[in-house]
Amino acid sequence: MISANDLRVFSRMIGESNASVTGWTRSRSSFRETLDAIDTYNRAPSPESLRFIEMCLDRLPGGKKLQYVSAFRQLKMTLAMEKIMLESREQVRRLAENSFRVTSDSQEYTNSFGSAFTNALASMTASSRWLDGGAGEARAMIAYLDGGGKGQCIATGYQIPTTAAPSVRAAKEKYPDRFDYVSGKYFSGISDAELHLERGKFDLITDLNGVMYYTQTLVEDLKRYLSLLKVGGVLVFTSIQVEIDMPNATNHDPRQVPDLARWMSNITGINVTRSRRTGSYTLVKNSDDINVPHLNVITYEIRQGRNDPLRKYSCNSPLAIHPVIT
């Protein structure tokens, strides 16, 4: 909702810039269409009705935009804030409803991540740790434990799908020290204690169309994953669509190498490999000295009819290193 207070400030600014001798009235105002669009939006907030307000505002003649410049700017700012709120509410709704596939099993994890995943699992001992970021029903993890796997496992997800509540509860009871499911919050809000970090960092982190696929805080979540990984540990995640404008990445061909792959391979302390066949990424941590080239956020937008958001960034750092593509 665009608040009554924001509207009051906006109307006051219009009134102050109004030059007519008879005073400002909504019915005669050039902002009438915009104000009607705001009413429509407030009755049923949606990305479409928000976009319509922007359209009305953009349609104002240039002269009016100049005359009412402060009101115009104020409303643009309000709309930008509203857009962020709407996006995150929509994201929470989708995550809470689990309105996407949450049932991947061990075979799907193996198909997506190949030998980086199977080798890491095979070498896990009782002190090894596996974290799944965005685990859905946590089928692969529970199957690993049921199959005799010795490692300690933590699944995470915004909400445990109702279909999986019984199996997750049963696994927690069966493996009290070796299985946990942290839910009810974004990954970025999970504390070290909830991840039992006192037991050590993780040998394996998986993310199959999970956190990285949806998150609004991509860089922060990637940094968190890398900080949670042991030196020698492996992070695997499925292909995600991210556009990065990189003026200082010489000889970069985005048709051959995704922007994300090029940017990530310039993070210090890791080796990056991308699979051409599956699009998945394998990041092996080789040092605790992690340094991430700064990304400026340009866009994060929830898309209608698609699960993944539109994410655009820019990066001005020199990105000399190319990823390994297999």
Ligand X SMILES: C[S@@+](CC[C@H](N)C(=O)[O-])C[C@H]1O[C@@H](n2cnc3c(N)ncnc32)[C@H](O)[C@@H]1O
Among the listed ranges 32-40, 72-80, 129-137, 243-251, the one in contact with ligand X (CB under 6 A) is: 129-137
Q: Which of these ranges, 36-44, 119-127, 134-142, 167-175, lies near ligand X under the rule CB under 6 A? A: 134-142
Q: What is the DSSP letter of 304?
A: T
Which of 208, 218, 228, 292 forms a contact with ligand X (CB under 6 A)?
Answer: 208
Least distance CB 228 / ligand X (angstroms): 14
Q: Give least dist CB 171 to ligand X, A.
A: 15
DSSP H helices in 241-315: 259-264
What single-letter amino acid sits at 82?
E
Tokens of 176: 């009290």
Closest CA to 140 of 173, 100, 181, 99: 181
Cβ–Cβ under 8 Å, residues 98 and 137:
no
Name which position in 34, 78, 104, 265 contacts ligand X (CB under 6 A): 104
Could you say which residues in the range 148-167 bind ligand X, by CB under 6 A? 157-159
The residue within the footprint of ligand X, chosen from 86, 142, 164, 211 (CB under 6 A), is 211
| Alpha-carbon gap, residue 202 to 195, rounded angstroms | 10
Between 3 and 188, CB nearer to ligand X: 188
Which one of residues 101, 150, 169, 303 is an interface residue with ligand X (CB under 6 A)?
Answer: 101
DSSP symbol at 118: H
Taking CB under 6 A as the criterion, which residues in 37-96 touch ligand X? 95
Alpha-carbon span 13 to 10, nearest angstrom: 5
Bridge partners, residue 243, by sequence: 312
The rounded distance, in Å, linking the Cα atoms of 141 and 135 is 9
Considering only the stretches 18-26, 207-215, 249-257, 271-279, report the one whose residues sit in contact with ligand X under the rule CB under 6 A. Answer: 207-215
Of residues 215, 265, 275, 280, which one binds ligand X by CB under 6 A? 215
Least spacing, CB of residue 141 vs ligand X, in Å = 10
Q: Which residue is nearest to ligand X (CB)?
A: 134
Q: How far is the CB of 156 from ligand X (least distance, A)?
A: 6
Indicate whether 102 belongs to the interface with ligand X (CB under 6 A). Answer: yes
Considering only the stretches 145-153, 208-216, 227-235, 288-296, report the one whose residues sit in contact with ligand X under the rule CB under 6 A.
208-216
Sign (positive/negative) of CA torsion 127, 133, 135, 140? negative
**What are the distances in angstroms from CA 32 to CA 11, 27, 116, 301?**
11, 6, 60, 28
Binds ligand X (CB under 6 A): choice among 103, 256, 268, 278: 103
Contact 285, 232 (CB under 8 A): yes
Instruction: Extract the tokens encoding 23.
Output: 């005073």
In the bound state with ligand X, the residue whose beta carbon lies nearer, of 68 and 186, is 186
According to the binding rule CB under 6 A, does residue 136 interact with ligand X? yes
Give residue 279's Cα distance to chain centre.
18
Contact with ligand X (CB under 6 A): which of 149, 151, 210, 309? 210
Q: How distant, in Å, are the alpha carbons of 1, 242, 243, 270, 326 from that of 261?
A: 38, 10, 11, 12, 12
Cβ partners under 8 Å of residue 160, min gap 6:
168, 181, 183
Instruction: Quote the least distance from Cβ 217 to ligand X, whole Å.
Output: 7
Please give the residue ranges that form the binding site for ligand X (CB under 6 A).
95, 100-104, 134-136, 157-159, 186-187, 208-211, 214-215
